[in-house]
Amino acid sequence: MRKIDPSVLGNWVKAHRKTKDMTQEELAVVVGITRYQLIRIENGESKTSRETASALAHALGQNEGEALRLAGYDGEPAQGISADEAELLSTYRSLPETERPKFLIISKATRQALAAH
């Protein structure tokens, strides 16, 4: 990770969030972070993990590589995570804790059904 100014990503996130007419709470839920964490990101008070930068890009419908670059990473998805995998992760994170086990059950059943064909 190279040295960056966290406010650059924060301004980018805030601008795209407002363009999508999302509240901080809505975006935080989709990304799987707290509103407080999002506020710190938008204010440039917090470094952002690779995974969070990626999830922010997907939630905002923006280029993942750009978000990673602005966050100080090389622009490659985290740990080889594809856009589809990041979308699944974002969906999982957006669910209430009580609903996540159901999501996993459905995912496993789908994988088994696809493997059978």
Domain chopping of the chain, boundaries = 1-117
Q: Say yes or no: domain 1-117 is CATH 1.10.260.40.
A: yes
CA distance 98 to 115: 28
pLDDT in tens, 38-58: 999 999 998 898 889 989 999
The pLDDT of residue 95: 77
pTM for this entry: 0.65
Please give the backbone phi and psi of residue 97, each rounded to the nearest 5 degrees, phi first.
-50, -35
CA distance 97 to 108: 18
Residue where the block lists tokens 């930068």: 53
Looking at residue 55, its amino acid is A
Instruction: Answer yes or no: are the C-beta atoms of 56 and 48 closer than 8 Å.
Output: yes
Q: What whole-number percentage of the chain has pLDDT above 70?
A: 89
